[in-house]
Amino acid sequence: MKNERKVLRNKSILLGITGGVSAYKSIDLIRRLREEGALVTVIMTEAAKHFVTPLSLEVASQNKVFSDLYADTMAHISLPAGADIMVVAPATANTIGKFAHGIADNLLSLSFLSFKGKVVMAPAMNWRMYENPVFRKNLDTLLNLGVIQVGPEKGSLACGEEGIGRMAEVPDIIEATKGALTINDLADENILVTAGPTREYLDPVRFLSNRSSGKMGYALARAALRRGAQVTLISGPSSLPQPKGVKFIPVDAAGDMHSAVNRELVSSTILIMSAAVSDFMPAEKSGEKIDKTGKLFLKLTATPDILSAVAKKKNRPFIVGFAAETGRKLEKARKKLKHKNMDLIVFNDVTEAGSGFDVETNKVVLIDKKKESELPLLNKDDVADAILDRIVELRA
Ligand SMILES: Cc1cc2nc3c(=O)[nH]c(=O)nc-3n(C[C@H](O)[C@H](O)[C@H](O)COP(=O)(O)O)c2cc1C
């Protein structure tokens, strides 16, 4: 299966590259956009050629690279007219200044003027330039006109200084691009997502856990954010990068997750419990590391059933649960939907190829009180969108 996601598939992206040190990162940006099915056409400024070669960009995009305003006489009209979105990364202080004032003295600034769609911009520069009031005025002019800004970030800059000005990371630029291309059908929702495993400690160094990576929950959080929702992500231990723009609450044990859910629930309209909460925890936890003395018998006790507790509440949100089973135990999932008083349950058989823990894909069945829909094997990003589509339908 190709690594393509729905949002960027067959989208035509006009990528402006300007003369900043981070221009080399555009090669990775192009590669990842193409991996997701987008068609990328590059316009680079003359200054950008000091930092990255047109040939590298041509190879990465598998497309002609444009730069000279007078070499392709209609490019400043035809390229923007054929694009779904314009992304400028990196965006220099100079180009941002030109955009803000309608200066059109090169192919990129002229294309910006003739483009009618959304523009995502990733400013990158030294922190002194970024904090300069003249630059800020130009940036604000563009933001007030609806240009979408991503980054910059704080960190070590190419000049050796520390400060704000590093170009946003490539995944964040891609996420902002997807967001700009997505309809905000969840704009009125406050979505609480739980993700990842929990750890139930027997002593300060050992715990019981499970194979959950958090990928499904993080994909749900990103997709909900892209669709305009306010998102809170309560996550058990996971190595995944924290999605930008969500309220992120890291937790460890099932008990911590329960407390965090209770705290955040008050302001939530939808709860999506995709975390693989441990069902059992050691009945006793030793304050010190347990010595290695032959056999050790563990006595386990049930962890709190977060979902059932929430479902019993008076003003409960819309509840989505998951049923990860070994085998096609659909009837068990149907019963769980009913007994736990959920609105939607997402069933998956973790023993099926490409499905379940720590893989990029999932094959699920969505079950609610009205219908059951079996989805094909999809990327977790696409599964997340399908789950959110069903939530939107059910809440309409
Ligand atoms: C080594 C070097 C690095 C530069 N890096 C940046 C940068 O990161 N951001 C920026 O706004 N300008 C940077 N500049 C300045 C731009 O290259 C310069 O303003 C140029 O006119 C930008 O042209 P353009 O906006 O048409 O690409 C750098 C200049 C040099 C010499």
CA-wise closest residue to 352 among 381, 330, 320, 384: 330
pLDDT tens per residue across span 245-292: 999 999 999 999 999 999 999 999 999 999 999 999 999 999 999 998
242 Cβ contact partners less than 8 Å away, ≥ 6 residues apart: 233, 248
Question: Is beta strand 153-156 parallel, antiparallel or unpaired with respect to 247-250?
Answer: unpaired
How crowded is the C-beta side of 128, counted as CA atoms within 13 Å? 3
Helix (H) or strand (E) holding 103: none
Ligand 1 mean position to 22 CA, how many Å?
10
Ligand 1 mean position to 287 CA, how many Å?
57
pLDDT tens per residue across span 200-219: 999 999 999 999 999 999 99
pLDDT of residue 324: 87
Determine the residue of 17, 21, 132 to mutate for testing ligand 1's pocket, defined as the one with the most ligand atoms within 8 A of the Cβ atom: 21
What DSSP state is assigned to residue 50? G
Determine the residue of 68, 92, 110, 166 to mutate for testing ligand 1's pocket, defined as the one with the most ligand atoms within 8 A of the Cβ atom: 92
Residue 2 pLDDT greater than 70, yes or no:
no
- Closest residue by Cα to atom 29, ligand 1, is 20
SS3 content of the chain, % helix, strand, coil (to 5): 35, 25, 40
pLDDT tens per residue across span 36-61: 999 999 999 999 999 999 999 999 99
Determine the residue of 88, 94, 103, 138 to mutate for testing ligand 1's pocket, defined as the one with the most ligand atoms within 8 A of the Cβ atom: 94
Ligand 1 mean position to 114 CA, how many Å?
24
Q: List the catalytic residues.
A: 159
CB of 41 closer than 8 Å to CB of 63: yes
Residue 327 pLDDT greater than 90, yes or no:
no
What's the mean pLDDT in 138-143? 98
Ligand 1 mean position to 16 CA, how many Å?
14
286 phi/psi in degrees, rounded to 5: -80, 140
Give the three-state DSSP class for 51: coil
CB of 85 closer than 8 Å to CB of 180: yes
And the tokens for 379? 């990327």
pLDDT of residue 305: 92
CB of 212 closer than 8 Å to CB of 257: no
What's the mean pLDDT in 126-146? 97
pLDDT, mean over the chain: 94
pLDDT of residue 328: 81
Owner of token pair 């003003």: 315
CB of 171 closer than 8 Å to CB of 219: no
pLDDT tens per residue across span 72-131: 999 999 999 999 999 999 999 999 999 999 999 999 999 999 999 999 999 999 999 999
First to last CA, the chain: 33
pLDDT of residue 5: 58
Task: Give the Å distances, CA to CA, from 191 to 215, 303, 341, 388.
Answer: 17, 24, 18, 11
CA-wise closest residue to 88 among 117, 59, 64: 117
Contact residues of ligand 1, CB 6 A cut-off: 18-21, 45, 47-48, 92-95, 124-125, 129
What ligand 1 atom has the least distance to the C-alpha of 48?
A: 27
pLDDT tens per residue across span 4-26: 458 899 999 999 999 999 999 99
pLDDT tens per residue across span 340-355: 999 999 999 888 888 8
122 phi/psi in degrees, rounded to 5: -115, 90
Identify the band that residue 3 occupies on the pLDDT scale cut at 50, 70 and 90.
Answer: very low
Question: Which domains does the chain carry?
Answer: 12-180 (3.40.50.1950), 190-287+294-395 (3.40.50.10300)
Ligand 1 mean position to 91 CA, how many Å?
9
CA-wise closest residue to 152 among 160, 162, 354: 162
CB of 200 closer than 8 Å to CB of 280: yes
